[in-house]
């Protein structure tokens, strides 16, 4: 019978704690996350017609800046994330269908802990920035799903949201 997975952020007394990564070896670690933004058809049409600009300015440029800032500050938002010297952060976006924007955030670092929370945070905040830039057009914009697409460099390998055996 398989044992249930161990929750790593609890000590022996069940109290929350930051995971001790002191004994781990620093390796190159990467993560890719995606957030989807779904627009009403008229909003998607207006964005395309205006070169992805809204009344507040360039939607994607603003989202890229916001997502990058969020990646670098993830440890300030998520209590048990370690502060990391991010080596690479690339945020991209493209329409996948008539009304849905896919925002991808790719992050890498050479460290003792992974960057999946940074990638997820970057994609999410970029999507929130898109919402903020476009909300004057409609409040019916929907964010989600947000998911981890790829993670490499630590104990586990994730690809397309599925854990692969090592």
Looking at per-residue pLDDT, the higher value among 163 and 68 belongs to 68
Give the 3-state secondary structure of 10-50. ECCCCCECCCCCCCCCCEEEEEEEEEEEECCHHHHHHHHHC
Domains of the chain: 27-158 (3.30.70.640)
Compute CA 145 distance to the chain's CA centroid, rounded to the nearest angstrom.
11
C-alpha 131 chain-centroid distance: 15
Q: What are residue 151's DSSP bridge partners?
A: 31, 158
Mean pLDDT, range 40-59, rounded to an integer: 94
Please give the Cα distance from 94 to 34 (Å, whole number). 11
Give the rounded percent of residues in the chain with a pLDDT score beyond 90. Answer: 71
CA distances from 23 to 11, 16, 19, 28, 112 (A): 17, 20, 11, 16, 9
Q: What is the pLDDT of residue 12?
A: 72
Quote the pLDDT of residue 155: 72
Q: What is the pLDDT of residues 92-103, one digit of tens each?
A: 999 999 999 999
- Catalytic, 132? Answer yes
Mean pLDDT of 6-15: 67
Whole-structure pTM value = 0.87
Average pLDDT over residues 112-129: 96
Catalytic residue among 61, 98, 132, 150: 132
């Amino acid at each position: 019978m398989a044992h249930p997975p161990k929750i790593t952020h609890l000590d022996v007394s069940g109290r929350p704690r930051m995971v001790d990564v002191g004994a781990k070896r620093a390796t190159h670690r990467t993560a890719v996350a995606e957030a989807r933004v779904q627009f009403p058809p008229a909003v998607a049409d207006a964005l395309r017609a205006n070169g992805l600009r809204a009344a507040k300015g360039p939607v994607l440029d603003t989202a890229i800046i916001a997502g990058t800032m969020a990646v670098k500050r993830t440890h300030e938002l998520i209590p048990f994330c370690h502060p990391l010297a991010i080596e690479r952060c690339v945020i991209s976006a493209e329409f996948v269908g008539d009304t849905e924007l896919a925002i991808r955030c790719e992050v890498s670092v050479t460290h003792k802990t992974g960057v999946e929370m940074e990638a997820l945070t970057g994609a999410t905040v970029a999507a929130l920035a898109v919402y903020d830039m476009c909300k004057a057009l409609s409040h019916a914009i929907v964010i989600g799903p947000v998911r981890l697409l790829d993670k490499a460099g630590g104990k586990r390998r994730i690809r397309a949201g599925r854990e692969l055996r090592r």
